[in-house]
């Protein structure tokens, strides 16, 4: 009831307080001056989506509407701000399995689409921000680098946020980013029982330096979940781990109309705290993207390794990542298989900025195990997006062909987004 009341207040606030914007000659949704030093910025983010899933055993058709609404108050002289945001997801129809692990809510006749109905307080944070320093306290969105280790899972209707304290500092070419989180608010919403949120002691540590077009960062992710979270099927994904690694990126201009973007990363993960398993699993990522004349050609390799030194295969896991971004949009590998995962991928994208922001994208994946190099399957992903005024429209496809892992899976999405 407390969460519902806070959420309702955040949803109503922009409607009540944004009225002065109607009388001022400014764009709707712009920050509204309250005083000479204080501004009120309304938040509205709406998404209507249809997701279709086709597998040999089960299908699904999920139509959902998601609304985030709230406000941000900014006080310029003190560099302080207060942000409050509620999130609600409405199920339009019930032909999908949104909470497969909750017996009272499960719909086992349908395939899984993890966008269940939900109303919650998504973010509530106080922030201090200058060009060199940042400090954020409260429930917040955290996206680190490419979100392979920590992200907000923005693709799903219900966002992942963290109850955390985050400090950021930049001094010339040197940066540091340190976060301590006490809770991980998942994408499953308030009806998900123990999977609504995971408690623990989590540290996200980054330090790096930038020299010209090259940036190098060292990182550590130390995850100590409370024992009550590590039960049943969650015991593998929520096991205590420490991951240490290095990430380097470079943006190299090739003449006036071309650019080569390079990414390389290596990390090693092992058991930590109360994890009884003794293992050392490697992470490797190498990617090159050549952009020219509106085209971007991308090729890469990613390995989530596995280790058998303990007598059984234990794979590297990334339970706080924005997993939909990686290893295919069909989401067959949200949990790394015990034998690990190798993903070789290539893609081509084309942007048409003069044609209402039209973008086209197609990507191919070839999946194998790390141990034994067993063929898992192949996947083709494609999308087309464009804008009609302030509404962003998206059509998206994923087709996974199973060889040695999972089942043939086809997914299709139609989506409309509006935000200010």
Q: Where are the beta strands (DSSP E) in 19-130?
A: 32-33, 38-54, 59-75, 80-91, 118-129
How do the domains of the chain map onto residue ranges?
31-119, 347-419
Query: Whole-prediction pTM value?
Result: 0.92
Do residues 196 and 190 make contact, with C-beta atoms less than 8 angstroms apart? yes
How far apart are alpha carbons 40 and 35 in whole angstroms? Answer: 10
- The secondary structure of residue 8, as a DSSP letter, is H
As a whole number of angstroms, the distance between CA 342 and CA 373 comes to 8
Which DSSP symbol is given to 55?
Answer: -
Of 4-8, 41-45, 365-369, 400-404, which gets the smallest average pLDDT?
Answer: 4-8
Interval 143-156: pLDDT, tens: 999 999 999 999 99
Contact 199, 229 (CB under 8 A): yes
Closest Cα to residue 94, out of 66, 63, 65, 73?
A: 63
Return the SS3 of 237: helix
Q: What angle do CA 181, 185, 188 make, to 5 degrees?
A: 160
Distance CA 209, CA 19 (A): 45
CA dihedral 304→175→136→32, nearest 10 degrees, is: -110
pLDDT digits (tens, 9 = 90+) for 353-386: 888 889 999 999 999 999 999 999 999 999 999 9
- Extract the tokens encoding 344: 């070789």
How many C-beta neighbours within 10 Å does residue 56 have?
Answer: 9
Q: Are 135 and 166 in contact (CB under 8 A)?
A: yes
Q: Quote the CA–CA distance of 4 and 268 in Å, as a whole number.
A: 41
Q: What is the pLDDT of residues 285-317, one digit of tens each?
A: 999 999 999 999 999 999 999 999 989 999 999
Whole-number pLDDT of residue 356: 80
Task: Indicate the pLDDT class of residue 18, thresholds 50, 70 and 90.
Answer: very low
**CA triple 132-136-140, angle to 5 deg:** 130
For residues 157 and 409, what is the distance between their CA atoms, to the nearest angstrom?
21
Cα 206 from Cα 176, distance rounded (Å): 6
Asked if 327 and 333 count as a contact pair (C-beta separation under 8 A), the reply is yes
Q: What is the pLDDT of residue 25?
A: 58
Nearest to 117, CA basis, from 125, 107, 126: 107
């Amino acid at each position: 009831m407390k969460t519902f009341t806070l959420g309702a207040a955040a949803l109503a606030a922009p409607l009540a307080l944004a009225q002065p914007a109607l009388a001022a000659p400014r764009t709707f949704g712009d920050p509204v001056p309250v005083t000479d030093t204080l501004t009120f910025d309304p938040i509205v983010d709406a998404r209507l989506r249809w997701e279709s899933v086709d597998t040999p055993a089960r299908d699904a058709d999920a139509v959902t509407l998601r609304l985030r609404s709230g406000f941000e108050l900014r006080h310029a002289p003190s560099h302080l701000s207060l942000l409050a945001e509620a999130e609600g997801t409405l199920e339009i129809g019930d032909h999908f399995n949104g909470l497969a692990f909750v017996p009272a809510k499960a719909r086992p006749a349908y395939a899984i689409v993890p966008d269940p109905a939900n109303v919650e307080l998504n973010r509530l944070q106080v922030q201090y921000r200058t060009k060199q320093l940042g400090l954020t306290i409260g429930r917040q969105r955290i996206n680190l680098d490419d979100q392979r280790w920590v992200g907000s899972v923005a693709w799903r209707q219900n966002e992942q946020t963290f109850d955390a304290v985050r400090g950021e500092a930049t001094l010339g070419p040197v940066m540091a980013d340190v976060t301590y989180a006490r809770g991980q608010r998942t994408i499953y919403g308030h009806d998900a029982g123990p999977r609504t949120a995971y408690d623990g002691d989590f540290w996200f540590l980054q330090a790096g330096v930038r020299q010209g077009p090259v940036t190098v960062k060292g990182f550590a992710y130390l995850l100590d979940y409370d024992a009550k979270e590590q039960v049943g099927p969650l015991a593998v994904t929520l096991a205590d781990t420490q991951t240490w690694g290095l990430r380097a990126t470079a943006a190299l201009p090739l003449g006036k109309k071309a650019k080569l973007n390079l990414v390389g990363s290596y990390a090693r993960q092992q058991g930590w705290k109360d994890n009884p398993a003794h293992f050392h699993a490697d992470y490797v990522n190498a990617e090159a993207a050549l952009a020219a004349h509106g085209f971007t050609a991308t090729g890469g390799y990613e390995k989530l390794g596995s280790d058998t030194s303990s007598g059984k295969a234990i794979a590297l896991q990334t339970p706080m990542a924005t997993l939909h971004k990686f290893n295919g949009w069909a989401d067959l590998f949200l949990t790394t298989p015990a034998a690990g995962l190798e993903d070789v991928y290539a893609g081509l994208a084309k942007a048409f900025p003069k044609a209402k922001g039209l973008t086209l994208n197609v990507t191919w994946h070839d999946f194998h195990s790390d141990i034994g190099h067993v063929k898992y399957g192949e996947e083709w992903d494609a999308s087309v997006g464009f804008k009609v005024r302030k509404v962003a429209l998206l059509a998206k496809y994923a087709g996974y062909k199973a060889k040695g892992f999972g089942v043939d899976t086809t997914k299709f999405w139609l989506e409309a987004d509006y935000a200010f």
